[in-house]
Amino acid sequence: MNVERRKFDALIIGAGGGGLRAALQLARADAQVAVVSKVFPTRSHTVAAQGGVNAALANVLPDNWHWHMFDTVKGSDYLGDQDAIEYMCRAAPKAVYELEHAGVPFSRLENGRIYQRAFGGQSQDFGGEQAARTCAAADRTGHAILHTLYQQNIRARTHFFDEYFAIDLIRDREGYVLGALVMSIESGECLLIEAKATLIATGGAGQLFRTCTNALINTGDGIAMAMRAGVPAQDMEFFQFHPTGIAGKGMLITEGARGEGGYLINREGERFMERYAPHARDLASRDVVARAIATEVREGRGCGPEGDHVLLKVDHLGEEVVAKRLPGIRELALTFLHIDPAKEPIPVYPTAHYTMGGIPTNRFGQVVAPVRHGPEEPVPGLYAAGECACVSVHGANRLGGNSLLDIIVFGRAAARHIVGFLQENRYHRPLERESVERALEHRARWDRKGKGEPVAEIRRELRKVMEEHCGVFRDQQVLSEGLDKVKALAERLQEAVISDHSRIFNTARVEAMETENLMDLALATVTSALARTESRGAHSRIDFPERDDENWMKHTLCFADGRLDYKPVRTRPLTVDPFPPKPRVY
């Protein structure tokens, strides 16, 4: 085992909003924390979040956490776990105030309080009038939050390993997770970070799909690492397609654009959302709006010469609202489309956006898996938070503004639980050679020379297959063809090679390891989607158009070998009455 070793109390893999919020909490509790990130922290994808973060502050319209909870349960199409949802919605106002105190430059109302805008799926009084629950820093909320959390972490002297790539978790025979094998991208050297507790906060896997709103680094590494360590991936069939990506390109136009009063039209100039969601219209839940757009286009009412998109109008809001509330999307539209949204409508189409599934956790951020006693046994020493985790607060469909909330609430919750865990587990457990060697072998796999296909080609094909076979609408045939194709690609990846074997900042090697991770997740996603013979939230089966609560109100668990298992939804909240499943109309 010829590898350098470092020891910390806690290891956090990922420096997005989830990882940084947890790190801050741990640093304040005087724990020794290492944060590993494959990019400099402020380059994590949280930086791209636009619209805002939900909390029932009631600064603009009446609100309370219980209404927020109702909307989240309904939005999840009743697949969300109600204990975790209650916890999150109750914690939201305090979590947002903490961010404000830390320095986040939220937009403000005349009375000096935090500005809140309307977002999709939000209501007052359990399904009544539209609510305004999304706290915003213009349309750069993610940037504002991520930079602030990074700044506070420098102040707290958190120990950062920037541009280190995590390869695999180290787990002993008793099941304890003891840290991870990571690699300095700059030097190519491996480093073994031993930790009493390890938190995975590696974000989502939007790179599974060709057209997506996600950064190139969003390859779901943490979920794949957990799967390789024996933890199943939960609910991977639920992938959110955001209704309004820039058509053909994928960059996101925030739901906030509709929250500020924008709306969608088809080629006839019709506000078609009135037909699909008479009450909430353009601010119905994302899955509903995405399907509506896809349907308009399929039925020949799309815009443009190819009829392949619809238009998002914000020009009627006036120059000032666009400049003040939506400066970021204006910049995007000008850069990528040469269109000024204050003057012309924006061509949009549903785009892969958010990974609802992920590493199964409970509301304390502990990773849970079926081992001996029931489906939710904590994996000792392992935690997950943020988009890579599946608590599950988003169930089958996430509400806009709930993910930034998820990362800060559960980043903090996980850190708090880790503090307790550290008190009971004062010493590092001895490392077992085998587990480290397995990880080192995995790293060495890409040293293989000789003939073989380039990895980049396989990655491109995979993303295309996923888009064509696992998109907004699915059925048995399309999915099973998709599964065959992904399996064939997985086999080709076994034989692939990289041509660059250099040591220093070898990006080809990093991309190859990311592609392996994507492949594992693609298999889990298609396998889970094929098995679920109902339509719920973002998972929409043409051959099974109805939700089937009797057979399918349960979470999918997919293991690395493709084996499926299921566990019940937690329908019992912490203190209030459960929200039983109801037909979902907006």
Partner 1 sequence: MPMRFSIYRYDPDRDARPHMQEYELAEVRPGMMLLEALIELKRQDESLGFRRSCQEGVCGSDAMNINGRNGLACITPLKDLKEPVTLRPLPGMPVIRDLIVDMEPFYRQYRAVKPWLTGETPEVEREQLQSPEERERLDGLYECILCACCSTSCPSFWWNPERFLGPAALLQAWRFLADSRDQATDQRLSLLEGNYRLFRCHTIMNCVEVCPKGLNPTRAIGRIKALMVKKSV
Ligand X SMILES: Cc1cc2nc3c(=O)[nH]c(=O)nc-3n(C[C@H](O)[C@H](O)[C@H](O)COP(=O)(O)OP(=O)(O)OC[C@H]3O[C@@H](n4cnc5c(N)ncnc54)[C@H](O)[C@@H]3O)c2cc1C
Give me the residues that bind ligand X (CB under 6 A), please: 13-19, 36-39, 44-46, 48-53, 141-142, 165-166, 201-204, 213-214, 217-218, 221-222, 252, 254, 354, 386-388, 400-404, 407
Residue 402 interacts, among partner 1, ligand X, none and using kind-specific CB cut-offs from 5 to 8 Å, with ligand X
Q: Which stretch binds partner 1 (CB under 8 A): 93-101, 122-130, 274-282, 552-560?
A: 93-101
Residue 15 interacts, among partner 1, ligand X, none and using kind-specific CB cut-offs from 5 to 8 Å, with ligand X
Per-residue x/- mask for partner 1, residues 408 to 447, rule CB under 8 A? ----------------------------------------
CB of 548 to ligand X, least distance (A): 28
Q: Which stretch binds partner 1 (CB under 8 A): 82-90, 236-244, 314-322, 449-457?
A: 449-457
Which of these, 544, 337, 450, 386, lies nearest to 14 by C-alpha position? 386
CB of 411 to ligand X, least distance (A): 7
Asked if 207 and 518 touch (Cβ cutoff 8 Å), the reply is yes
CB of 329 to partner 1, least distance (A): 11
- Please pick, from the candidates 125, 186, 299, 484, the single residue that binds partner 1 as defined by CB under 8 A: 186
Judging by beta carbons within 10 Å of its beta carbon (0-12, 13-18, 19+), is residue 225 exposed, middle or buried?
A: buried
- What number of chain residues touch partner 1 (CB under 8 A)? 61
Q: Does 101 bind partner 1 (CB under 8 A)?
A: yes
The secondary structure of residue 138, as a DSSP letter, is T
CB of 45 to partner 1, least distance (A): 7
* 3 state SS for 78-93: CCCCHHHHHHHHHHHH
Q: Are strands 190-200 and 389-390 parallel, antiparallel or unpaired?
A: unpaired
- In the chain, the N- to C-terminal Cα span, in Å, equals 58
Q: Of 12 and 483, which CB lies nearer to ligand X in the complex structure?
A: 12
Residue 547 interacts, among partner 1, ligand X, none and using kind-specific CB cut-offs from 5 to 8 Å, with none
Q: Of 276 and 349, which CB lies nearer to partner 1 in the complex structure?
A: 349
In angstroms, rounded to a whole number, what is the distance separating the alpha carbons of residues 39 and 411? 19
The residues annotated as belonging to the active site are: 286
- The helix or strand, by DSSP H or E, that contains position 12, with its residue range, turns out to be strand 4-13
Which conformational region is residue 77 in: left (phi greater than 0), alpha (psi within -120 to 50 degrees), or beta?
Answer: left
Scan residues 150-169 and list those touching partner 1 (CB under 8 A). 151-152, 154-155
Q: Of 144 and 199, which CB lies nearer to partner 1 in the complex structure?
A: 144
CB of 115 to partner 1, least distance (A): 8
Residue 143 interacts, among ligand X, partner 1, none and using kind-specific CB cut-offs from 5 to 8 Å, with partner 1
In angstroms, rounded to a whole number, what is the distance separating the alpha carbons of residues 375 and 473? 30
CB of 184 to ligand X, least distance (A): 11
CB of 441 to partner 1, least distance (A): 22
Q: Is 483 helix (H, G, I), strand (E, B) or coil?
A: helix
Residue 577 interacts, among partner 1, ligand X, none and using kind-specific CB cut-offs from 5 to 8 Å, with none
Bond into 187 cis (ω within 30): no
Which of these, 242, 256, 248, lies nearest to 328 by C-alpha position? 256
In angstroms, rounded to a whole number, what is the distance separating the alpha carbons of residues 24 and 101? 14
- Please pick, from the candidates 45, 74, 313, 555, the single residue that binds partner 1 as defined by CB under 8 A: 45
Contacts of 473 (CB under 8 A, 6+ apart): 291, 294, 540, 542
Scan residues 293-332 and list those touching partner 1 (CB under 8 A). 328, 331-332
Q: Of 101 and 271, which CB lies nearer to partner 1 in the complex structure?
A: 101
**Chain length of the chain:** 586
Handedness of CA 7, 9, 14, 15 (dihedral sign): negative
CB of 580 to ligand X, least distance (A): 27
Asked if 348 and 264 touch (Cβ cutoff 8 Å), the reply is yes
Residue 151 interacts, among partner 1, ligand X, none and using kind-specific CB cut-offs from 5 to 8 Å, with partner 1
Q: Does 463 bind partner 1 (CB under 8 A)?
A: no
Q: Of 195 and 483, which CB lies nearer to ligand X in the complex structure?
A: 195
The secondary structure of residue 206, as a DSSP letter, is G
Q: Of 46 and 535, which CB lies nearer to partner 1 in the complex structure?
A: 46
* 3 state SS for 21-38: HHHHHHHHCCCCEEEEEC
Residue 111 interacts, among partner 1, ligand X, none and using kind-specific CB cut-offs from 5 to 8 Å, with partner 1
* 3 state SS for 325-367: HCHHHHHHHHHHHCCCCCCCCEEEEEEEEEECCEEEECCCCEE
Q: Does 103 bind partner 1 (CB under 8 A)?
A: yes
Q: Of 216 and 542, which CB lies nearer to partner 1 in the complex structure?
A: 216
CB of 567 to ligand X, least distance (A): 23
CB of 404 to ligand X, least distance (A): 3
Q: Does 492 bind partner 1 (CB under 8 A)?
A: no
Residue 16 interacts, among ligand X, partner 1, none and using kind-specific CB cut-offs from 5 to 8 Å, with ligand X
Contacts of 308 (CB under 8 A, 6+ apart): 247, 248, 297, 302, 349
Cα–Cα–Cα angle for 558, 15, 32, nearest 5°? 105
Scan residues 197-226 and list those touching partner 1 (CB under 8 A). 215-217
Q: Of 406 and 534, which CB lies nearer to ligand X in the complex structure?
A: 406
In angstroms, rounded to a whole number, what is the distance separating the alpha carbons of residues 369 and 36? 24
Buried b (16+ CB within 10 A) or exposed e, 484-509: ebbbebbebbeebbbeeeeeeebeeb
- Please pick, from the candidates 10, 36, 47, 303, the single residue that binds partner 1 as defined by CB under 8 A: 47
Which of these, 293, 291, 341, 294, lies nearest to 321 by C-alpha position? 341
Instruction: List the beta bridge partners of residue 164.
Output: 184
Residue 194 interacts, among partner 1, ligand X, none and using kind-specific CB cut-offs from 5 to 8 Å, with none
Instruction: Write out the residues near partner 1 by the rule CB under 8 A.
Output: 39-40, 42-45, 47-48, 57, 93-94, 96-97, 100-103, 105-114, 137-138, 140, 143-144, 147-148, 151-152, 154-155, 186, 215-217, 251, 328, 331-332, 335-336, 454, 456-457, 498-500, 502-508
